[in-house]
């Protein structure tokens, strides 16, 4: 199989989640057919219960700070990903030619 066919086969199976998992953790994604909302709600609810053990307030500073960290992390990853788009595009074009 030549390199171009190999690359095409990879991109046929590529998903945003698969690419993100590979870039972040070096492995493929676990099978998960939940919606984005369900995937986000599950760990957030677990975190909320853990915070409740230490801070019973409904407006916990810990929850606010966690949301701030999560939001900023997502923002940085999105900005970084967007900045790498031209690099990925040129590398893909090189591989195809």
Q: Residues 48-82: pLDDT tens digits? A: 899 889 888 878 888 888 889 988 988 888 888 88
Q: Give the model's pLDDT for residue 20.
A: 72
Are the C-beta atoms of residues 29 and 17 closer than 8 Å to each other?
yes
Q: Would you state the pLDDT for residue 58?
A: 75
Instruction: Count other C-beta atoms under 10 Å from residue 44's C-beta.
Output: 14
Interatomic CA distance for residues 52 and 66, integer angstroms:
13
Eight-class DSSP state of 27: S
Tell me the whole-structure pTM to 2 decimals: 0.49
The pLDDT, as a whole number, for residue 88 is 79
**CA–CA dist 18, 31 (Å, integer):** 10
């Amino acid at each position: 199989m030549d390199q171009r066919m190999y690359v095409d086969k990879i991109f046929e199976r590529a998903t945003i989640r698969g690419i993100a998992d590979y870039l972040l953790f070096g492995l493929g994604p676990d099978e998960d057919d939940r919606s984005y909302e369900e995937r986000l709600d599950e760990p957030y609810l677990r975190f909320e219960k853990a915070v409740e053990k230490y801070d019973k307030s409904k407006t916990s500073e810990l929850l606010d700070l966690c949301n701030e960290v999560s939001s900023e992390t997502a923002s940085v990853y999105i900005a970084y990903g967007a900045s790498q788009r031209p690099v990925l595009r040129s590398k893909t074009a090189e591989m195809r030619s």
